[in-house]
Structure 1
C-alpha cells in the first residue's frame, strides 16, 4: 500500500554498523533543513547492524518525532534498504544519502533547487572525492563500464546523494543489487535527470563496506540490466535471433558436407561416394551441435515469452508511461492531466 503524501520531503538513509556517525548526521540534517519551511521526515533503515546503531536510532527517534527508525531482521543489503525507505516515505520529494557522513546534508537544498527546474531526478556528483584508491578505482571502472553499456552519461553514478520526485520512486522496482543502476532504471522509464556537484567528505568513523570485489558483481548485474532494459518484455528477440544464427550456421555446415559427399559421387561414381567419409569429421559434429543449440535457444525464447506474458497479464502491468494528456474527453471537457499522479 502506497503511503499518502503528507510531507514536503523524506530522507531515506540506509544504516549498517554506523553507530558513531548517526547522532552527528542527525544534527547536520537539522542544521541543513530547519528554518527552510519544509515539513520533512528522516527514515533510517537499519540493515541488520551488529553494533549499537539501532539503540542509537531509538534514542534519536525518541528525541525528535521527525526521525523514524526501521529495523530489518537481518542484513539484506543496500538495495533492500532503499526499497523499504521508498515504501515508507511520505514526502513529495525523496532524498537518499549514506549514513557514513561522507555525503553532506548541506547539499540537500542544492538538489531541491535543481529539482525545481523541472527535473524528475537529480544526482549528486562528488567532484572532489575523498576516498582512497581502493574505493576510487573500482568505482571508476564500474562507472565507465555502465556508461559504455547503458548509454546513460553521468559523471558519478555511484553517489548515493540523490533527489527524486515521489512518483519516480513509486515506479522503481528494486531488488538484488539494483541500487547501483538507479540512473539506468530512471532513464529507461523516461524520467528526466540532472547532475549537480556536491561536497564529499572523508570518513571519520566506522569502516567502509566497499572494495574491489564490487567490480565483479557490477559486471554481472550490468548484464542483467542490459537484458532487462532491451529485451525484458520481448526475450524472443534475443534468444530467437541467436538461435536462428546458430541453426543457420549448423545447416550451412551440414549442407557443405552433404555437397562434398554428393560431388564425390558425381565425379567418382559409387566408389567415390563410398570413399568420401564425413561421419568422422569434427566439422560434422560442430554442425550438429550448432543445429541443436539453435533449436534450444529458440525454445528458450518461447518459454521466456510465455513467462513474460503470464507475468504482465496476471500483474496487469503497463509497458508504457504517459507523461501528460492534453485534449478533450467524451463530454468535451478540456483535459490537462499529468499522469505522474497515477504513481502516488
Structure 2
C-alpha cells in the first residue's frame, strides 16, 4: 500500500515550518530530463523568492531514475525523494506527493520538460486572488495531432459536458492547489485527470490560465489511445459522485421503482388476458419480460438501500462531513467590548 511506503516521512509537516509552495513531480522513467527539470525549478523559485520543496515521486522507474533521484535528493537542497515499491500509476504517485507536501500551495507538473516551470509564479498569483485550484491550459500543444491532440479535445469536451466543469484542458498536469483543498481530496484509481471535477464536488473555486507547452526532448510518451476506455469508466465514476455521492438511493431507488412499475403494469395486463379473456399466456415473451423487470426493480431498490447504508458508514466512520465551510464570519464585539 502507498500509505505504508510513505509512513517514514509522515512527520515532515510537524518537524518543519510551512513553506510557500510544494512542487509535486510524479516520475516514471525520466532519467534524462530529471536533472534539467530540478535545475530549472530551483532557478525559477529562487528568482521569485519563494520558500519551497520539490517532492519527486518515483513510480517504479526502471531506467535509472530511482538511483539518480536518490543521489539528487541527498546532494541538493529542498529536494525530497519518495520512492514507491513498484509502478502504481500517476494517481497514487500524486497522492503520495500530496501526503508529504508542506506548502501553503501545491503545484503539480510532469517530469518530461513539456510543462514550463516559468509558469508557476503566474499560477500562484492567480491562486492568491481567492481561487482554490488554478489549472493550466496548453493552448499550443506540441504533441502528435492524431494520437494525442484529437483524443484530448474529444475527452475535454466530454468531461466538461458530464461534470459541468468547463475548462479547456483536463489533461494538463501543471496545476496549483490550495493546501486545504488537497487535504479534502481522496484519490483512487486513475482520477488524477479529473482533479478539477473532484475539486468542484468539494466546492472549490476553479480558474484556468494559458501556459506554455514544449515538445518532448527525451524519451517517449507514456500515454496512448489505450487509456480511452479507462477514462470513460472514470468519467462515469465522477458523474455518479457529483450527482449522487450522498444520495445513492435517488438513482438506484428511482430506477428500481420504474422497473417495478413497468413490470407490474405488464403483469396486470397479462393477468387480465388470462383471467378475463381466458387466453394462454404461458408462451408469451411478455411474461418473461414482466418477471425480469420486477426482479430487476427489486434488486435496484435493494442496491439503493445498501448504497445509503454504505455512504452513511463512510461518512460517519471517518467523521467526514457532507459539506465544506469556506469561512465563518461573526461579530467579535461582545458585551460592549
TM-score normalised by structure 1 residue count: 0.90
Aligned counterparts of 1:231 and 1:195: Cα–Cα separation in 2 = 27
Contact 2:48–2:121 (CA under 8 A) maintained in structure 1: no
SS in 2 for 1:13: strand
Asked if 1:218 is matched to 2:231, the reply is yes
> What stretches of structure 1 move > 4 A for 4+ residues in a row?
328-334
Counterpart position of 1:28: 40
SS in 2 for 1:254: helix
Aligned counterparts of 1:35 and 1:326: Cα–Cα separation in 2 = 37
1:1-344 maps to which residues of 2 (within 5 A)?
Answer: 3-4=13-14, 6-133=18-145, 134-264=147-277, 273=278, 276-328=279-331
Moved more, 254-263 or 222-231: 254-263
CA RMSD of aligned residues (A): 1.7
TM-score normalised by structure 2 residue count: 0.92
The alpha-carbon distance between structure 1 residues 325 and 209, as it changes in their structure 2 partners (threshold 3 A), is: same
SS in 1 for 2:162: helix
Q: Which runs of 5+ in 2 are unaligned?
A: 1-9
CA deviation after TM superposition for structure 1 residue 225, in Å: 1.1
CA deviation after TM superposition for structure 1 residue 330, in Å: 11
Counterpart position of 1:267: none
Aligned counterparts of 1:80 and 1:179: Cα–Cα separation in 2 = 9
Aligned counterparts of 1:214 and 1:331: Cα–Cα separation in 2 = 59
Contact 1:152–1:183 (CA under 8 A) maintained in structure 2: yes
The alpha-carbon distance between structure 1 residues 285 and 124, as it changes in their structure 2 partners (threshold 3 A), is: same
Deviations 1:22-70 (A, max 9, x none): 0011111122111322111100000000111022112222332211111
CA deviation after TM superposition for structure 1 residue 333, in Å: 9.6
Contact 2:31–2:65 (CA under 8 A) maintained in structure 1: yes
Between structure 1 and structure 2, the one with the greater Rg is: 1
